[in-house]
Chain A
Amino acid sequence: MSTHKVRTPRWRLMALAAALFASLWFAATARADDDRAARRVAMLPKYQQECSGCHVAFPPGLLPSASWRRLMGDLARHFGTDASLDAAAAQEIDRWLQTAAGGDRRSRRDPSAPPEDRITRSAWFQREHREIATTTWQRPAVKGPSNCAACHVRAEQGDFNEHAVRIPR
């Protein structure tokens, strides 16, 4: 009888530990899955083709629809460069962006438009990159926060998982 009394708490402890471990593991994989979510949203070929000439084709879910609408409405003055498109291409991309906008968990949590409609000025972006020193951003191979692919080596494939980060020297 006394052995039972000793055993039961141990079983409970082990079950509790297992449950705790499982929940942590699920939370971790759910987060990793979320990071891969961008990859699951199939990119419109036209968007990929037209927008990745100067920068990574940013996952559309990272900006709210109002931001995309403003950006698409003034492509001739796009962050200091002329990124104008013919009307048909602009309309096709705009329509697709409106369906995919704001879909990322970060945007869903805070659907407000970031300052200047820059992904890199979103609160979540700054929080997730807070450990990156200014001098790191300024390295010639990085140049600034909009150059995702400098460190996120699989950014072109829409994979921003932190395990696929290699910061260049």
Chain B
Amino acid sequence: MTTTRVASTGHRVSWWQRLPLHVVVIGVIILWSIPTLGLLVSSFREPSAIASSGWWEAFRHPDQFTLANYERVLGEQGMGRAFVNSLLITVPATILVILVAAHAAYALAWMRFPARGPIFLVIVGLLVVPLETTLIPVLRLFSHTTIEHQLPILGGNAFGTASYTGMWLAHTGYGLPFAVFLLRNFFVSLPRDLIEAAHLDGASDLQVFWRVILPLSLPAIAALAIFQFLWVWNDLLIALVLLGDPTLAPMTLKITNLVSSFGTSYQVLTAAAFVSMALPLVVFFAFQRFFVQGMLAGAVKG
């Protein structure tokens, strides 16, 4: 994946020729960032200020910025607990998807067994099934299989509706087709010789997977982790349907509730929204290098 610059033999693209492109790109970035910036600024403003002037006015009175909104959201409104709930749902659901998908992808890419091709096709085919069509069947299944035993520490039922385990399972299931698809295509692009060399060195399939494939697939796995993390973190629908217990609610669900009860209290909503955005932003910026690489996974060979 090397970027080839225009060599001295070719025509050199000077900066002013690229200027229109830069202007457009920067323009798009600004346009797309404005709402987020507005959200951030508003979340630090007094309710009266929000009601009387636009967020851009805030810079004229920097002394009016306040942390009160955050204190209220995290404390009184239980966003702190919701933040923890979101983590409790998202982290295991992300790890599970990667673990299961990576093993499956290795088998689909490098092990020989009957109907390997058709199985992979079916898994990829599941990508086109709309999530919404599965909600009712999954809910019915969960309500039949609910184990009403309060889990220690975590809270919630042991399984089924109003349980973390149910959420993990549901998110893992929904995430798997894409995860298997992404990882299998990445694994297949690894050189066959490497895998054969490891087998000759005495490695079993599991050892090849853990010691050769996984370390070499970190970019793809990191990209998948980000995708899955954001997807689960931002999910409202599945939580709304499967998670009855408000004490287990993740932030998305909490914010929705805030909207209905504090519909006009923008200062609370903006702070809550920003709290829910903060972690994905950190995750994205921490791994954005992998993210970009991983999006090319399978498309460009080594």
Q: Do A and B come from one complex?
A: no
B interface, CB within 8 angstroms of A: none
| Interface residues in chain A, defined as those with a beta carbon under 8 Å from any beta carbon in chain B | none
